[in-house]
Amino acid sequence: MGLQDSSQDLSTEMEVDAFRRIFPLRFFERHLSESLRPDGRQLGKARDTIVNLGLVSTADGSALAKIGSTTMLAAIRMEVMTPSTDSPDEGCIALEFHMPPICSPTVRPGRPADAAPVISKRLSDTILSSGMIDLKELCLVSGKAAWMGYLDIYCLDADGALFDAALLSAVAAFSNLQIPVVALNDNGRIVAITGGKDQDNASITEKEAVNKEKRKLTLKNIPFSLTCILHKNYILADPTTEEESIMDTLVTVVLDSSDQMVSFYKSGGSALAYSSAIKSCVELARKRAKELNQILGEMDID
Amino acid sequence: MAAKPGAATPTYSPKLVGSSRLPIFKDSDLDWSRPDGRGFHQCRPALLQTGAVSSASGSAYAEFGNTKVIVSVFGPRESKKAMVFSDVGRLNCNVSYTTFASPTIGQGTDHKEYSSMLHKALEGVIMMETFPKTTVDVFALVLESGGSDLSVVISCASLALADAGIMMYDLITAVSVKRKDVKMEAL
């Protein structure tokens, strides 16, 4: 009681920045009572989202996704592998999420960030279980050759909602992916058809392009996610790092383009998720999925 | 089901099979120009931008042709390890590459020495006595490697340090030079 009074007295004299650092929870709650957040956003509103495709020239597909300040760069490189005997018609996707030391003051070189393997696993599970990619499309020659897609996602700036941005960048990278045209060599190896000057024209006409029609993957059931913070009876969508550090209960809802729920994730935290809170989170996620679908749709036109 | 570990399954890139590199140097012709049309002493057009990373004290992004680098500076901040009291500050540098930085998959050539080379380049110009007991961390990430990586990293790092407000004697820049027979050209 005494502490509350003293902070209230101090708040009238102290500078805003100092108050924000010393009493962060009270600073935020002052804003929440007006249904606003310090950056002026509504509680259920996500930050400005930008997606750019095809930035990495060495990759077969790439995308940069920015949600507010959180920036993720995803790149896919396709390599050829021998499919396993129990699924000879299927390729494979290897996903890895990296948090290099540039992205956040909490990450040290040589010590991988605590959040990185967690997000890596969650992303991998979400993308594979959503059914967005049909692994049979990655097959080249049944039983002998199939594509292995190495998807690497780098966090360039970590400002909250890392999973959302990473998933968005991964999905955008898949939509940008252009599978190289290849043919089967006489030795049984797959070679890329570069076409033109430095290759024997005679040998090309003999080798039929193995995947002339299948250059782009068909993406169905694209997953979109929204992370929310539960605090008392407030629900804050798309938190920043500052918000995540003060309020510890995070809920992530992943829906696909047909409004089916792909995943719901809540890992502890002091606030309990009652069914009303869950319903509100899902509703916010639904709106967000529509926004993101529109943003990706605008990107796909080129 | 499908996310098998890559280490167990060896994969190969279809592009590298049967590809040959065109010879760049034609000894008979002394007036040849470089593949991208530059003169011998000409550098690539540069893009330099500060404030690339909002979480860092200072940051910069540099693009020299196909070489793209981001450098973040954190600090001066508390040294994590228990250090003996020092009345000058410390500098910690780290340069890392993305897996897609080089055209071949994996690490490409080993560049572990770049971190200490960046440290040697910066330690002469930063005024360490202005931040005693604390550490300044300079982290670089090479997004795409198109040649002259270390020079771009050094120039970008000095810009990021300036953006962070770390006191320095001057801004430093770097350039790579390669000698081929008699002629010298700037990369």
pLDDT in tens, A47-106: 999 999 988 888 999 999 999 999 999 999 998 888 888 888 888 999 999 999 999 999
Condensed to tens digits (0 to 9), the pLDDT of residues A178-228 reads: 888 888 777 777 777 764 333 443 344 444 555 565 578 888 889 999 999
Closest CA to B139 of B107, B161, B123, B121: B161
Q: Residues with Cβ < 8 Å from A3, sequence gap 6 or more?
A: none
Alpha-carbon distance A169 to A151, whole Å?
10
Question: In whole numbers, what is the pLDDT of chain B averaged over residues?
Answer: 82
Please tell me which residue of chain A has the smallest CA distance to B13.
A79
Inform me whether the C-beta atom of residue A180 falls under 8 Å from chain B C-beta atoms: yes
Q: Comparing C-alpha atoms, which of A50, A51, A27, A49 is closest to residue A39?
A: A27
Of the listed ranges A119-133, A257-271, A272-286, B72-86, the least confidently predicted one is B72-86
Structure tokens at A58: 């060495």
What pLDDT shows up at residue A1?
A: 42
Cβ A102–B53 below 8 Å, yes or no? yes
For chain B, percent of residues with pLDDT exceeding 70: 76
**What are the φ/ψ torsions at residue A189 (nearest 5 degrees)?**
-100, 155
Please tell me whether the overall predicted TM-score, pTM, comes out greater than 0.95 for this model. Answer: no
**Do the interacting molecules here have an ipTM over 0.90?**
no
What's the rounded mean pLDDT across residues B100-125? Answer: 82
Pairwise CA distance, residues A245 & A239, whole Å: 10
Is residue A140 within 8 Å of residue A81, measured between CB atoms? no
- Substitution target in A56, A58, A92, A134 with the highest count of B β-carbons within 10 Å is A58
Quick check: A103 and B77 CB within 8 A? no
Compute the C-alpha angle B15/A217/A48, nearest 5°. 105
Q: Kindly report the CATH number that applies to the domain delimited by B65-177.
A: 3.30.230.70
Cα–Cα distance, A64 to A165 (Å, whole number): 9
Contact criterion met (CB < 8 Å) for B141 and A199: no
Please list every residue in chain A whose beta carbon sits closer than 8 Å to the beta carbon of residue B55: 69, 103-105, 157-159, 241
Residue bearing tokens 């190969």: B12
* d(C-alpha A151, C-alpha A173), whole Å: 9
| All residues at 6 or more sequence positions from B126 whose CB lies less than 8 Å from its CB, including other chains | B89, B91, B136, B161, B166, B167, B168
Closest chain A residue by Cα to residue B17: A191
Q: Where are the domains of chain B?
A: 65-177
Evaluate whether B68 touches A59 at the Cβ level (below 8 Å): no
Distance from the A15 Cα atom to the nearest Cα atom in chain B, whole angstroms: 21
Q: Chain B partners of A135 at a C-beta cutoff of 8 Å?
A: 2
**Which residues of chain B are within 8 Å of residue A94 when distances are taken between CB atoms?**
3-6
> CA nearest B58: which of B136, B171, B132, B141?
B136
pLDDT digits (tens, 9 = 90+) for B121-134: 999 999 999 998 89
Paired tokens of B174: 């770097």
CB–CB contact A81 B101 (8 Å): no
Q: Is the pLDDT of residue B187 over 90?
A: no
3 state DSSP class of B92? strand
The CA distance from A270 to A230, in Å, is 9
The Cα–Cα gap between A102 and B121 comes to 19
